[in-house]
Amino acid sequence: MDGTTLGSFLTNVPPILTSALVNLAPYIAAIRWCLEAISWRESYYDAFLCLAGWWSACLFADHGIRYLLPLPAMYILSRRKRSPTIPAATEQSLQKTINDLSVIKSLLPFVPTLPTLSIPLLARLTATIYVPYLILTYLARLRVLVALAGTILLTWRAPWAILIRSVLWRNPVLQRLFGMVWFRLTGMEYSPQLSAISQPDTAVSRSRFVFTVLENQRWWVGLDWTAALLPNERPSWCSSSLHPVSPPVAFTLPEATTSVLRDAKGKLVKTKTTWKWEENDEWSVLVKKDAKSQQTRAQKPIPRDDPNATVSSSMMSKVTAKMKEHPMSPTVSADHHNSLDAVSAEDDEDGEFDPVTDMDGWVYGDNKWESQTSKGGYNKYTRYRRWTRIAVAEQTTVVVEGSSAETGVYRDTNNRISQPKESAADILQKVHTRASADSYDCVDDINSSPRGVRQRVKTSSSNLPRLSLDH
């Protein structure tokens, strides 16, 4: 990939994410190597090396820390002194980091769904296992038991271990014996469907996201609560970080995207991500009656008026008249600007902003969106409430046959998400071409030699993109 693609990546991806990818690239590569080693996907030498290191750490940890700890400490300090300058990030390095993250995600262990046990069953299971556990710790040293447990986990995904488990599990005698033990421990009948040995062969993963839209209003004398806000404050509809967004009636999910990346074995893996709203879920308002109660989602009528439309002339004239009667001082205006992030600041401090609201989900504040309470009244001129809806991102992963496909991220229109900006020569050429639309004209080739070679160009105004003043 060329530098234009790198420039497009840096332009469209937030700088904080790009910096994290560059700075964490060595650690991400190390995590990928460890996961591939314990998953037995690469050389068996690495897997057995990890297994030997685990046994050494369990059996000789005290002696190693006592006698050998200064050696790795001195090695690390010497490496830091001689560390070279941080290498510059390239398109290949960023692509490798993204591939490492994709491989790490694919190597994460699959956790099967276990049956839910009640508290009495858990107490019975614990009481039954506790005595054999104590006897086992007296017969063998604890570090040996930890080493054996770690060995089972490290070899769980080995091909030979999977084969042994499959052969043993097909034995009806062992299944019947395991069912008897399970019944003695829990008192529940054993179901073979609950004991999935291998990960299901599925290439579909789902993630749930909660979209939050803030509805903001201001109180005006004679107008009551309206969406007519001051020019220097938050918009009528915004996100939790106070960026303008569409209202719930016009809110759309992200477009479907398709990414083509290479896995650890060099094969092309195509991942298509599609978005859809969760079934039986609509836009709801977050309501919290008091500080001790849990936050709930309540169904409320969605405002149908377009907040982006211009307010009626009579309303705007009244608002303008009121603002002229009571002009705001520069100090208050500055306070408005500084208080735009009041909600976000509290959200960052508490981890999850969970204010007390009224029955309709409104949170009332003063003229500067501060001193927020769940009740309106005197000195309460602003209010907001949070609309939420749950969406599901479904990722379908398939292996692409052949190796000629170009890696990258695309939308369903087969275009890259980030297109490079047009050069000045391309823009001028479009201007000359548009002037001769629907005809055969002779235009000077901008990129021609000094001799001014002329060429014939057939253009059509319907196929040409519109020019904008942004260029």
For 31, 139, 145, 152, 325, the CA distances from 149, given in Å and listed in that order, are 22, 16, 6, 5, 77
* Per-residue confidence (pLDDT) for residue 388, from 0 to 100: 92
Distance CA 208, CA 353 (A): 20
Across 35-39, 366-370, 411-415, least confident range: 411-415
* Per-residue confidence (pLDDT) for residue 85, from 0 to 100: 61
Task: Check pLDDT > 80 for residue 29.
Answer: yes
Choice between 204 and 466, residue whose per-residue pLDDT is larger: 204
User: How confident is the model over 177-206, as a mean pLDDT?
Assistant: 64
Q: What is the pTM of this model?
A: 0.55
All structural domains of the chain with their residue ranges: 3-107, 119-194, 204-395, 424-471
Choice between 363 and 95, residue whose per-residue pLDDT is larger: 363
pLDDT classification of 215: cutoffs 50, 70, 90: very high
Q: What percent of the chain has pLDDT over 70?
A: 64
φ, ψ for residue 456, nearest 5 deg: -95, 130
* Per-residue confidence (pLDDT) for residue 338, from 0 to 100: 36
Task: Check pLDDT > 50 for residue 247.
Answer: yes
Selection from 19, 1, 2 nearest residue 10 by Cα: 19
- Is the Cβ–Cβ distance between 23 and 15 less than 8 Å? no
pLDDT classification of 425: cutoffs 50, 70, 90: very low
* Per-residue confidence (pLDDT) for residue 115, from 0 to 100: 65
Structure tokens at 97: 């980091």
For 39, 246, 434, 437, 454, the CA distances from 444, given in Å and listed in that order, are 62, 45, 13, 15, 5
* Per-residue confidence (pLDDT) for residue 216, from 0 to 100: 92
Choice between 18 and 448, residue whose per-residue pLDDT is larger: 18
Across 84-88, 104-108, 173-177, 258-262, least confident range: 84-88
Distance CA 89, CA 341 (A): 34
Which residues touch 201 (CB under 8 Å, ≥6 apart)? none
* Per-residue confidence (pLDDT) for residue 367, from 0 to 100: 86
Task: Check pLDDT > 50 for residue 4.
Answer: no
User: How confident is the model over 425-446, as a mean pLDDT?
Assistant: 39
Task: Check pLDDT > 80 for residue 136.
Answer: yes
φ, ψ for residue 239, nearest 5 deg: -85, 180
- Please count the CA atoms within 13 angstroms of the CA of 76 that sit on its side-chain side: 5
Task: Check pLDDT > 50 for residue 14.
Answer: yes
Across 157-161, 409-413, 418-422, least confident range: 418-422
Choice between 384 and 422, residue whose per-residue pLDDT is larger: 384
Looking only at the bridges linking them, the beta strands covering 268-277 and 257-262 are: antiparallel
Query: Which single residue is written with the structure tokens 């991400």?
Result: 28
User: How confident is the model over 197-215, as a mean pLDDT?
Assistant: 72
On average, the pLDDT of the chain sits at: 71
Task: Check pLDDT > 60 for residue 451.
Answer: no
Looking only at the bridges linking them, the beta strands covering 204-220 and 382-400 are: antiparallel
* Per-residue confidence (pLDDT) for residue 23, from 0 to 100: 86
Choice between 125 and 117, residue whose per-residue pLDDT is larger: 125
Task: Check pLDDT > 50 for residue 430.
Answer: no
pLDDT classification of 261: cutoffs 50, 70, 90: confident
Across 165-179, 256-270, 303-317, 337-351, least confident range: 337-351
Q: What is the pLDDT of residues 293-348, one digit of tens each?
A: 888 888 888 887 544 444 444 554 555 455 545 444 333 333 333 333 333 333 43
Q: Does residue 224 come out as left (phi exceeding 0), alpha (psi in the -120 to 50 range) or beta?
A: left
CA dihedral 317, 318, 322, 325 (to 10 degrees): 60
φ, ψ for residue 218, nearest 5 deg: -130, 145
Task: Check pLDDT > 60 for residue 154.
Answer: yes
Q: Which of 111-115, 253-257, 324-328, 362-366 has the highest mean pLDDT?
A: 362-366
Distance CA 55, CA 50 (A): 9
Q: What is the pLDDT of residues 222-239, one digit of tens each?
A: 888 888 888 888 889 998
Helix (H/G/I), strand (E/B), else coil: 214:
strand
* Per-residue confidence (pLDDT) for residue 308, from 0 to 100: 42
Choice between 271 and 261, residue whose per-residue pLDDT is larger: 271
* Per-residue confidence (pLDDT) for residue 221, from 0 to 100: 86
Q: Which of 115-119, 184-188, 386-390, 451-455 has the highest mean pLDDT?
A: 386-390
